[in-house]
Amino acid sequence: MMRLEDAEAFAQREGLIVVTIADLIAWRRLHDRVEARARTTLPTAFGTFDTIGYADLLTGADHVALVSPLGIPAESPLVRVHSECLTGDTFGSTRCDCGPQLAESMRRVAAEGGVVVYLRGHEGRGVGLLDKLRAYALQDQGLDTVDAQTALGLPVDDREFGAAAAILRDLGIESMRLLTNNPEKETQLRDAGLTIETVPLITDRTVNNSRYLETKRVRLGHRLGESA
């Protein structure tokens, strides 16, 4: 058993490569994290997307990649990594901007080429649907989205984007134009070795989500302009 410094010296002397356990973990997170298990097409209001269903081998969640009708351009495709939001994406809630962001992302990706990666298990910034609704109840009493989750003993944002990075790698995407206002999402994907040009994704504000957007801008660092 050699210490790392001894192994590195031996490798340099013998022309070998040293691989650490951390290196193996990082490699597996990108290459063994997800498995494509279903492929089909999905006709939508924005066009027919090639659709790939992925199993997350770490969390057990199911994720979906919607590939543009134009396919994936060889250089800098447009990419949206979208966190599941049942209330916004499905019910059309105006408390957040999730539904409009998803629709605008699908429209733009369909028109320009690229992919929308839809991550399940991210409801309420990772705390789940029921706790998200509990946090909404505290927001009704005057707390903002950050303080509401903190008051419930919940993390402010418990999402991680390793599955998204693995899906993008599986699709052959290493460099992209990323539709996001969230610097943490961008940082995590960059840390996974992806090359990113950030493209803002600003949607219309409503009476019901203006405070939410301002909280994201001021307290979570989202790039939403000078005032939400």
Domain range summary for the chain, segments of one domain joined by +: 1-31, 35-122+159-220
Strands (E), 123-200: 175-179, 195-199
User: Would strands 195-199 and 47-56 be described as parallel, antiparallel, or unpaired?
Assistant: unpaired
Active-site residue 157, yes or no? yes
Q: Tell whether 227 is in a known binding site.
A: no
Does the structure show a pLDDT above 80 at 25?
A: no
The mean pLDDT of 94-118, rounded to a whole number, is 98
Average pLDDT over residues 185-208: 95
Residues 6+ apart with CB under 8 A from 74: none
Residue-level pLDDT at 117? 98
In the DSSP assignment, the letter for residue 141 is T
pLDDT average, residue stretch 149-153 = 98
> Would you say 198 is a known binding-site residue?
no
Residue 23: pLDDT band (50, 70, 90) is very low
Spatial distance between the Cα atoms of 124 and 130, rounded to a whole number of angstroms: 9
pLDDT band at 93; cut points 50, 70, 90: very high
Concerning whether 158 is annotated as a catalytic residue, the answer is: no
Identify whether the C-beta of residue 176 lies closer than 8 Å to the C-beta of residue 78.
Answer: yes
85 among the known binding-site residues? yes
Catalytic residue among 56, 89, 97, 157: 157
Candidates 3.40.190.10, 3.30.1490.20, 3.40.50.10990, 1.10.4190.10; correct CATH number of 35-122+159-220?
3.40.50.10990
Other beta carbons less than 10 A from residue 12's beta carbon: 10
Question: How many CA within 13 A on the CB side of residue 165?
Answer: 23
Residue 214 among known ligand-binding residues: no
Q: Report the Cα–Cα distance between both ends of the chain, in Å, rounded.
A: 58
What confidence score (pLDDT) does residue 228 get? 46
Q: How many helices (H) and strands (E) does the chain have?
A: 9, 7
Q: Is 215 annotated as a binding-site member?
A: no
Catalytic residue among 33, 108, 159, 177: 159
Say whether 149 counts as a known binding-site residue. Answer: no
